[in-house]
Amino acid sequence: MLASILLSAWLSFFFHSSESRQAVSINLVLPIGIALAYFFSQRVLRPIRNIIEAITKVAQGDFDTRLETKGIAELRELEISFNKMTQELSSIETMRSDFINQFAHQFKTPIVSIRGFAKLLRKGNLSEEEKDDFLQIIVTESERLDQLSTNILNLTKYENIHITSHQTTFRLDEQIRKVILLMEQRWVDKNILLDIQMDEMLFTGNESFTHEMWINLLDNAIKYSYSGGLLSVRLENTSRGIRFVLQDNGTGMDETTKTHLFDKFYRGNNSEGIGGNGLGLAIVKRIVDLCNGTIDVQSELGRGSTFTIILPDRHLTVTKPNG
């Protein structure tokens, strides 16, 4: 009986002591655990919060935002990709802003001219010769606006195309000859001589794309050729593919102009007094890219320019040489 009482008392003391020790342990461990959990959660979540904040800034149009993950290896690749993306977006935004400014300037100039001469005509008291001159200026500026609108629409169309569709097989050399004849009045007015040597070729591609390309190339060459100059046109098969070469002995261009030659609205220092809006060669470059081709320009100021286009030979079938 006494032993049972002593055993019960000892067990009761043991369990009560364990509960006390457990309570003390819980009171010590719980705050430490919470503190550690908070510390590590902050360390893990801080980069994620930074990423979310950076994405939010980009969504609001701040393309100068850059991400820093501060040495977390797992997020380093994300940081590199994110910063590359924002850098490209920033460049695109700059180009967009420049395009809008140049677009507005290009449209405003002929509109101001048309409005000014229309007001003069409205006032009257002009000789017939003055009326004819002013009307001709209005017509010329209207045509300039029309050409600018057409080029912008064409460039926008080609920039929104990523896969060349509606491909047919056609004679590439015949297409170039037709474009040359189409522009006959232009080169005849400047007494330009043509030296044409082209192989007969069947080409598979988008016929309207290449037609637009030749028109813009020839238009550019004629504009910058001197009166009585020479245009050389070559089309041949090479180990690299179809090789088209257009050479003139006109004004040529400096290194700065060559660097920016395919930029939208860019016009070199030698373009003063020469019509155009700086979009033709941008269209050419885009079409060449769509054809998976390359374009190279060699030029010397005062001595002329040579444009060389290489198109992939997988589109090519040579029939026979033609002088």
- pLDDT for res 14: 44
* CATH classification of the domain holding 290: 3.30.565.10
End residue of a domain, out of 99, 132, 159 = 159
Count how many domains the chain has: 2
Whether 94 and 203 share a structural domain:
no
Residues across the chain: 323
Flag whether 197 is in a domain.
yes
Flag whether 1 is in a domain.
no
Whether 173 and 219 share a structural domain:
yes
Flag whether 141 is in a domain.
yes
- pLDDT for res 319: 47
Flag whether 147 is in a domain.
yes
230-238 vs 193-198, strand pairing mode: parallel
Whether 259 and 307 share a structural domain:
yes
Flag whether 6 is in a domain.
no
For residue 255, the enclosing domain spans 168-320
Flag whether 95 is in a domain.
yes
* CATH classification of the domain holding 113: 1.10.287.130
Flag whether 67 is in a domain.
no
Whether 110 and 192 share a structural domain:
no
Q: What is the distance between the alpha carbons of residues 295 and 244, in angstroms, rounded to a whole number?
A: 9
The model's pLDDT over 163-210, given as tens digits with 9 standing for 90+, comes to 777 788 899 999 999 999 988 988 999 999 999 999 998 888 889 899
Whether 208 and 274 share a structural domain:
yes
Please enumerate, as own/partner, the contacts of 129-134 that have beta carbons within 8 Å and a separation of 24 or more.
Answer: none
Whether 148 and 184 share a structural domain:
no
Whether 148 and 238 share a structural domain:
no
Q: Is the pLDDT at 266 greater than 50, yes or no? A: yes
Name the pTM for this structure: 0.62
Beta-carbon count within 10 A of 34 CB? 10
End residue of a domain, out of 159, 180, 200 = 159
Closest CA to 106 of 158, 145, 146, 156: 145
- pLDDT for res 159: 76
Whether 143 and 247 share a structural domain:
no
End residue of a domain, out of 159, 189, 209 = 159
The model's pLDDT over 83-96, given as tens digits with 9 standing for 90+, comes to 788 877 776 666 66
Whether 119 and 177 share a structural domain:
no
